[in-house]
Amino acid sequence: MTGDARRGAAAWGLGALLVGALVVVLATAAVTAWLVAAAVGPGLFHEHMTSAGMADHDAAVVHAEQAFQDAGTVSLALALGAAALVSAVVGVVLNRRIGRSLATVSTAAARVGAGAYDSRVPEPGLGTEFDDLARSFNAMAARLHESDRLRARLLADVAHEVRTPVATIAGYLEAIEDGVQPLDEDTLAVLREQSARLTRLADDLAAVTRAESGDLTLHREPVAPADLLHAAAGAVRERAAVADVEVGLDVTDGLPPVAVDRTRLAQVFDNLLDNALRHTPPGGRVVLAATHEPDGQVALRVADTGEGIAPEHLPHVLERFYRVDTARDRGHGGSGIGLAISRALVQAHGGTLTAASDGPGAGATFTVTLPPA
């Protein structure tokens, strides 16, 4: 069916419904008025005439009663005719306006169904129900548009990430087959490292997808912010010692507990501390702090004295696959997903994760805010 034919059918369906409803209303009104006028009117008129002292069969009375009946019939017929005319006009106008609005929405829905996610419909101004329909439709289309854009970007990023290790493995295998490269311990180490990178990428992708889709079961319990930070600091003590970076704690007294899944939050702080240790040179310092925000939220910070983040990179570091120094950060084995996973986990708790830095060399601070329990 073409768009026009479909529109025609929709308009006809709605038009028939409106005409049917108006005909039923008119017919009911006509029959009721007729019955009442026929049964009640003449009797009442006759009673008035006799109570005014007129004789029953007086010619003037018969004449007046006939005149009353004729006047009644003509008035009723005129009123019904006018009502039918107004109903027809109202029906046509409503049918055209509602039909046009519905046709706009159904055409836009067909376009969205065909993949044109940028289709939007104007609010028809036909009352709140129709305006709500248009708004919900536009919100749905915008959401689909956004997820389609993310899907396309994710696929491109994944393809990009997979290409390098797969190309390395393929290159080595070919060289081994050609006898150019011996299958010794060094070669095996390269192959193992590249396959480990692919495995980690697959694991990270699964984790970020799960976290971002909201498909997470959180086992929340009230936890004191100080406990969270103590546990996080304890978990990286050895890595910090190896990196020769001091890890300190700074917790404000009297903080309310937060309702969190300890394991997920531990994962968030492990990612943040792993980054902080990796980007802080030996002799540096990482501080874990907890404070009360003016808006009632609890803020948990991981601040380092490391290499910092330039302003142009700062808005992007929380995005999937974003690395400031692609070659070097990848050399560390990172896929650039740690912060995206952390942000999704914090958001699943109803909180936020933000990054701040005064620039290269000035250290970086990552802040997790959580609503109090």
- In the complex, which residues of this chain contact Mg ion (CB under 5 A)? 275, 338
Q: Using an 8 Å Cβ cutoff, are 235 and 200 in contact?
A: no
Q: Does 334 bind ligand ATP (CB under 6 A)?
A: yes
Looking at beta carbons only, is 275 or 367 nearer to Mg ion? 275
Report the C-alpha gap between 45 and 42 in whole angstroms.
Answer: 5
Q: Does 306 bind ligand ATP (CB under 6 A)?
A: yes
Q: Which of residues 273-292 bind ligand ATP (CB under 6 A)?
A: 275-276, 279
Looking at beta carbons only, is 275 or 369 nearer to Mg ion? 275
Give the Cβ contact number of residue 154 at 10 Å.
16
Q: Cα angle vertex 211, ends 154, 371, to 5°? A: 130
Looking at beta carbons only, is 121 or 288 nearer to ligand ATP? 288
Looking at beta carbons only, is 177 or 203 nearer to Mg ion? 203
Report the C-alpha gap between 58 and 70 in whole angstroms.
Answer: 19
Looking at beta carbons only, is 91 or 338 nearer to Mg ion? 338
Report the C-alpha gap between 274 and 276 in whole angstroms.
Answer: 6
18 binds, among ligand ATP, Mg ion, none (CB under 5 to 8 A by kind): none
- In the complex, minimum distance from the CB of residue 345 to ligand ATP, in angstroms, rounded to a whole number: 13
CA distances from 311 to 222, 315, 327, 355, 362 (A): 36, 8, 20, 11, 11
Looking at beta carbons only, is 134 or 245 nearer to Mg ion? 245
Report the C-alpha gap between 333 and 327 in whole angstroms.
Answer: 10
276 binds, among Mg ion, ligand ATP, none (CB under 5 to 8 A by kind): ligand ATP
Element (H, E) at 354: strand 352-357
Q: Does 351 bind ligand ATP (CB under 6 A)?
A: no
The burial class, CB within 10 Å (0-12 / 13-18 / 19+), for 365 is buried
Looking at beta carbons only, is 229 or 324 nearer to ligand ATP? 324
Q: Does 322 bind ligand ATP (CB under 6 A)?
A: yes
Residue 135: both structure tokens together: 């708004």
- In the complex, minimum distance from the CB of residue 324 to Mg ion, in angstroms, rounded to a whole number: 11
Select from 121, 141, 290, 317 the one that contacts ligand ATP (CB under 6 A). Answer: 317
Q: Which residue has the tokens 């040179």?
A: 281
305 binds, among Mg ion, ligand ATP, none (CB under 5 to 8 A by kind): none
Q: Using an 8 Å Cβ cutoff, are 373 and 222 in contact?
A: yes
C-alpha R_g of the chain:
39
337 binds, among Mg ion, ligand ATP, none (CB under 5 to 8 A by kind): ligand ATP
What angle separates helix 262-278 from helix 338-348, to the nearest 10 degrees?
150
Q: Which residues bind ligand ATP (CB under 6 A)?
A: 204, 271, 275-276, 279, 304, 306-307, 309, 317, 322-325, 329, 334-340, 364
